[in-house]
Each structure stands twice: as structure tokens, then as C-alpha cells.
């Protein structure tokens, strides 16, 4: 068990290895581990952010859906109102048109009645005159009868 310069040799190699490890080995791994830690932290943070975003988006979508429902309901309401209005207007127009047609028809009927009365009046007076002529056989004052007959015709 000799104590000798192996001791010095070992000490020197130890210091050399220590220097080598500190300069060329340790930094590589501490950098890798640091970088990986950072990436994991970033990843977790991104995941948390995405979750929050998702929540926000869901919230917004429900809100939009609600809004859409409300506006759809109001549109339908308006449409219904408009439809009722149109129907009402059509009813009024139809009634007016009907009234007008009826009025026209009434006027036409009256005209026809008057025309028929005129014709009848003329025919009645002719019949009466003919009848009277037949009865009296020409002895009657034509002027006086005429006047009486037209009075008669006006009364018809």
C-alpha cells in the first residue's frame, strides 16, 4: 500500500475533469432541462388560455343564439301583423268594390225600370185611345180627350 504520486495524478485528473464537466458537460444538460421546463410551462399556460377562450366562445355563442331567437320572434311578430293588416285592407277594398258594384247595379235597374215605364206609358195611352175610339166611334173631341189622356198617363 504505497503512498506515491498516484495521489497527485488523481488530484490533477480530478481537477481537470471538474473543469471539463463544468465547461463542456453540465451547461448542455442544464440548458436542455431548463428549455424543457420552459416549454412545459408554456404548454400548460397555452392550454389554460385555450380553455378560457373556449369558455368565452361558448358564452358568446349562447348569447348570439339567444339574440337570434329574440330577433326571429320579433320578425315573425311583425310579419303576422303585416299579414293581418294586408288582410284587413283587402277586406275593406273588397267591401268598397262590392258596394260600388251593387250601387251600379241598382242604378242600372232603376234606369231599366224607368225606360220600361216610359214604354208602358206610351203603350197604355195608345191602347186607351184605341179603346176609346172604338167605343165612341169618332164622335168625340180629339183635343179634349188628348188632354185628359196625357193627364191619365202622368198618373200611371
Contacts to other proteins by CB under 8 A: 1-11, 13-15, 17-18, 20-22, 24-26, 28-30, 32-33, 35-36, 39
C-alpha cell at 114: 224607368
- Residue nearer to other proteins on the CB measure, 33 or 116: 33
CB of 51 to other proteins, least distance (A): 23
Give yes or no for a contact between 149 and 127, defined as CB atoms under 8 angstroms apart: no
Nearer residue to other proteins within complex by CB, 23 or 134: 23
Nearer Cβ to other proteins (32/75): 32
Cell of 21: 464537466
Q: Which is nearer to other proteins, 21 or 140 (CB)?
A: 21
Shortest distance, CB of residue 67 to other proteins, whole angstroms? 45
Q: Among 126, 112, 133, 132, which Cα is nearest to 156's?
A: 126
Residue 81 to residues 69, 71, 75, 78, Cα–Cα distance (Å): 18, 15, 10, 5
Calculate the alpha carbon distances from 3 to 8, 10, 12, 61 in Å: 10, 12, 16, 83
Whether 115 and 91 have beta carbons less than 8 Å apart is answered as no
Residue number with CB closer to other proteins (33 or 56) = 33
The distance of closest approach from Cβ of residue 76 to other proteins in the complex, given in angstroms and rounded to an integer, is: 56
Tell me the closest approach of the beta carbon of residue 45 to other proteins, in angstroms: 17
Q: Which of 148, 104, 101, 98 is nearest to 128 (CA)?
A: 148
In whole angstroms, the minimum distance from the beta carbon of 37 to other proteins comes to 10
Amino acid at each position: 500500500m504505497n503512498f506515491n504520486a498516484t495521489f497527485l495524478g488523481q488530484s490533477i485528473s480530478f481537477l481537470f475533469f471538474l473543469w471539463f464537466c463544468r465547461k463542456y458537460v453540465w451547461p448542455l444538460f442544464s440548458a436542455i432541462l431548463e428549455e424543457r421546463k420552459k416549454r412545459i410551462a408554456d404548454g400548460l399556460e397555452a392550454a389554460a388560455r385555450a380553455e378560457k377562450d373556449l369558455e368565452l366562445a361558448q358564452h358568446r355563442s349562447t348569447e348570439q343564439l339567444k339574440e337570434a331567437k329574440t330577433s326571429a320572434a320579433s320578425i315573425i311578430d311583425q310579419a303576422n301583423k303585416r299579414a293581418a293588416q294586408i288582410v284587413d285592407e283587402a277586406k275593406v277594398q273588397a267591401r268598397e268594390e262590392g258596394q260600388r258594384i251593387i250601387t251600379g247595379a241598382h242604378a242600372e235597374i232603376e234606369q231599366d225600370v224607368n225606360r220600361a215605364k216610359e214604354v208602358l206609358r206610351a203603350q197604355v195611352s195608345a191602347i186607351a185611345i184605341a179603346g176609346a175610339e172604338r167605343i165612341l166611334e169618332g164622335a168625340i173631341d180629339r183635343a179634349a180627350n188628348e188632354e185628359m189622356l196625357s193627364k191619365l198617363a202622368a198618373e200611371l
